[in-house]
């Protein structure tokens, strides 16, 4: 549809900012008042039927695809093999290994409502120490992504092992398993069906963990909200437009909805980068005619 009734960033943000900045010549001692509403990206992801629809649709596509793979065992898994590139892809072999689907957790299967509520109200931006507290104490303040519980249950009914591969910390494995359980997603066992940052020496990279899993399972589907949930290779591309092109052309374009299943997340992550020149291609920038003739 066409846009309507958007509040501009000036109208929406000037009053609180002006107040915070001008009532004193020194920096304000207290935090400014929280904004009147959550930002648009959170209204969308956590509050809209539209985002819920996109999520349910992604899980339905995943289940349709997984059902076909289980009926006719594929030769290859959907995990890019060690040494493969985006231009010369190769996939880890399936053999006769049992079936698995690998999912990221945060904003893929679980909505971090509690953390984002705090974040939006305080406006502090992301902070490792607070996120660590969230991992440790927030297991009660999550909800499942729409469609996730149905999908995970249906996969298990088909004989597909559901494996969680997240960048939450290995030190918080028990609390993360509890968050997964509280969201209605069942049992996660560290080292078996739960893989975490710190399980190997590659930090937040996930390829190593995927290769470990693909050594034991025929991985028929990957689900995630970030390109790094599918391959670390995307995050080696520094240019914002080149990274987007790598995801929507060539090999990757053939994988979306066809082994790789992407969930929406406009709230945070490695996709939220880029200045005006990177996000809006040359030749696609516009000014109203009235504004350019001096009016």
Q: Contacts with its own copies in 244-273 (CB under 8 A)?
A: 244-248, 252-253, 256-258, 260-273
x/- binding map, residues 200-219, to its own copies, per CB under 8 A?
Answer: ----x---------------
144 neighbors 109 (Cβ within 8 angstroms) = yes
Taking each continuous run of H as one helix and of E as one strand, the counts in the chain are 12, 9
Q: How many residues does the chain have?
A: 295
Nearer residue to its own copies within complex by CB, 1 or 96: 1
Give me the helices (H) in 184-284, please.
207-216, 240-248, 250-255, 276-279
Q: Which residue's structure tokens are 């290769």? A: 211
Residue 243 interacts with its own copies (CB under 8 A): yes or no? yes
Nearer residue to its own copies within complex by CB, 79 or 252: 252
- Restricted to residues 78-117, the positions that interact with its own copies (CB under 8 A) are 104, 106-107, 113-117
- Restricted to residues 15-44, the positions that interact with its own copies (CB under 8 A) are 17-18, 20-22, 31-32, 34-44
Q: Which of 78, 152, 193, 225 binds its own copies (CB under 8 A)?
A: 225
> How far apart (Å, rounded) are the C-alpha atoms in residues 229 and 226?
5
218 neighbors 94 (Cβ within 8 angstroms) = yes
Q: Which of 30, 87, 238, 276 binds its own copies (CB under 8 A)?
A: 276
167 neighbors 128 (Cβ within 8 angstroms) = no
Q: Which of 33, 82, 90, 122 binds its own copies (CB under 8 A)?
A: 122
Residue 288 interacts with its own copies (CB under 8 A): yes or no? yes
Pick the stretch among 90-98, 151-159, 163-171, 209-217 that binds its own copies (CB under 8 A): 163-171
Minimum Å gap between C-beta 245 and its own copies is: 8
Q: Which of 93, 133, 186, 190 binds its own copies (CB under 8 A)?
A: 133
> What stretches of the chain adopt beta strand conformation (E)?
76-80, 91-93, 99-103, 110-111, 143-144, 161-169, 194-197, 218-224, 260-262
């Amino acid at each position: 549809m066409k846009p309507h009734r958007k509040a501009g960033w000036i109208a929406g943000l000037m009053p609180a900012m002006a107040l915070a900045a001008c009532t004193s010549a020194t920096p304000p001692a207290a935090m400014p008042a929280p904004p009147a509403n959550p930002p648009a990206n959170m209204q969308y992801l956590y509050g809209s039927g539209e985002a819920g629809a996109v999520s349910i649709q992604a899980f339905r596509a995943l289940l349709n695809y997984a059902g076909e793979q289980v009926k006719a065992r594929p030769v290859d898994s959907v995990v890019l093999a060690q040494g493969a590139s985006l231009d010369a892809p190769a996939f880890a072999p399936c053999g006769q290994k049992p079936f698995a689907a690998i999912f990221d957790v945060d904003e893929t299967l679980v909505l971090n409502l509690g953390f984002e509520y705090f974040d939006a109200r305080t406006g502090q931006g992301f902070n490792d120490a607070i996120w660590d507290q969230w991992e440790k104490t927030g297991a009660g303040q999550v909800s499942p992504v729409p469609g996730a519980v149905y999908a995970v249950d249906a996969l298990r009914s088909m004989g597909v092992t559901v494996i969680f591969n997240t960048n939450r910390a290995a030190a918080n494995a028990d609390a993360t398993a509890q968050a997964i359980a509280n969201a209605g997603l069942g049992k996660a066992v560290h080292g078996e069906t739960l893989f975490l940052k710190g399980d190997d020496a590659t930090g937040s990279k996930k390829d190593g963990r995927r290769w470990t899993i693909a050594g034991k399972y025929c991985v028929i589907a990957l689900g995630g909200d970030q390109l790094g949930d599918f391959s670390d290779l995307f995050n080696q591309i520094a240019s914002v437009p080149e990274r987007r092109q790598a995801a929507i052309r060539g090999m990757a374009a053939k994988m979306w909805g066809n082994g790789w299943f992407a969930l929406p997340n406009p709230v945070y992550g490695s996709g939220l980068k880029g200045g005006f020149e990177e996000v809006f291609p040359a030749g696609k920038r516009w000014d109203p005619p009235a504004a350019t003739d001096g009016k």
